[in-house]
Amino acid sequence: MDETPSELFKLYRSSSRKRCEDFAFVLQAVGIRSKVVFMEQEFVLLVDERNAERAFEQLELYLRENQARPRRFDPRQGLHDGLNAASLYGVTILVMDLLQRHRAFGLDWWEAGMSRAGLIRAGEWWRTLTALSLHGDPLHLVGNLVFGLVFGFLTGQLLGWGLAWSGMLLAGALGNALNALIQSPTHASIGASTAVFATLGILAAYSWKQRRHLINRWLPLAGGVALLAFLGMGGGRTDIFAHVAGFAAGCLFGALYGLLEHRLRPLARYQLALGLGAYALFVLAWVRALMAQG
């Protein structure tokens, strides 16, 4: 390490500013002041000479820990994963809207697939899934389509499209099931908003579980709650309990993903199987719903 005239040591040098800033953040977390400067055609991390030895030890410890720890999911899982998850959601919502509005095959898709609390409690489990793809009016459809595409894209990038899509469907269905337990038996609801807020919950809880620093660990969860309050609590026809139940179910899934992230890494190889399996369950739910209608 070289001493500079300002009694600062060049602890680390790199062509990457971000790499130096990452190390500076590590040192800041343990109370060591540092700064990143550009000199001699490269970025340099400088520390006070009195802290140089301790700073070097902290960086060595940090590098050993991160080398030994299994690599976490890369938030940049891939642009295609985000696009696949969002596209699958969008196409499904639009196709189902066409089928129900034109009463395709002479069937009453609304009556067959609507979430009815009493019927779900009586064993018609499929309604927890089918209700996610029904909408009452164009405004309802567009709102759920826009936010679902955004949250689906982000979750797909974070977890991979298959895991994101299956989580969106299953957490949404769980949200509808929880809502059916809370509401009166005559309560009825439709809409993808339960799945949309479930996806938001997955994003918030998984990001919360990933973060190690207490200073910013609660920011994703707080942001998710704020979005839930802003987007999911207004309007006379809003099913607030469904939104809250969906968000809670998503948080459960997101926390589990974060807790089991080391096991999810090999599971990521099976994105196609996860995605198609979830879609098969969704189709099965609709087949069961239409058969029950007679």
> Which tokens go with 149?
């595409």
> Which tokens go with 146?
């826009």
Residue ranges matching CATH 3.30.70.1530 in the chain: 8-68
Question: Tens of pLDDT along 144-167?
Answer: 899 899 899 988 988 889 999 999
pLDDT of residue 214: 44
Q: Report the CATH fold assignment for 8-68.
A: Alpha-Beta Plaits (3.30.70)
pLDDT of residue 183: 92
Question: Tens of pLDDT along 182-234?
Answer: 999 999 988 888 999 899 889 888 877 665 544 444 455 555 555 555 554 55
Three-class SS of residue 185?
Answer: coil
What is d(CA 291, CA 294) in angstroms, rounded to the nearest whole number?
5
What is d(CA 165, CA 17) in angstroms, rounded to the nearest whole number?
36
What is d(CA 279, CA 194) in angstroms, rounded to the nearest whole number?
17
Flag whether the pTM goes above 0.85.
Answer: no
Mean pLDDT of the chain, nearest integer? 82
Neighbours of 42 (CB within 10 A): 13
Lowest mean pLDDT among 27-31, 128-132, 229-233: 229-233
Question: CA dihedral in degrees (145, 147, 149, 154; nearest 10)?
Answer: -170
75 or 274: whose pLDDT is higher? 274
Residue ranges matching CATH 1.20.1540.10 in the chain: 79-293
pLDDT of residue 158: 84
What letter would DSSP give residue 263?
H
Lowest mean pLDDT among 25-29, 139-143, 237-241: 237-241
Say how far residue 36 (Cα) sits from the centre of its chain.
34
pLDDT of residue 288: 94
Question: Tens of pLDDT along 64-82?
Answer: 777 644 444 444 456 788 8
- Cβ within 8 Å of residue 125, ≥6 positions away: 177, 285
pLDDT of residue 215: 44
Q: Report the CATH fold assignment for 79-293.
A: Rhomboid-like fold (1.20.1540)
pLDDT of residue 131: 95
pLDDT of residue 76: 40
What letter would DSSP give residue 269?
G
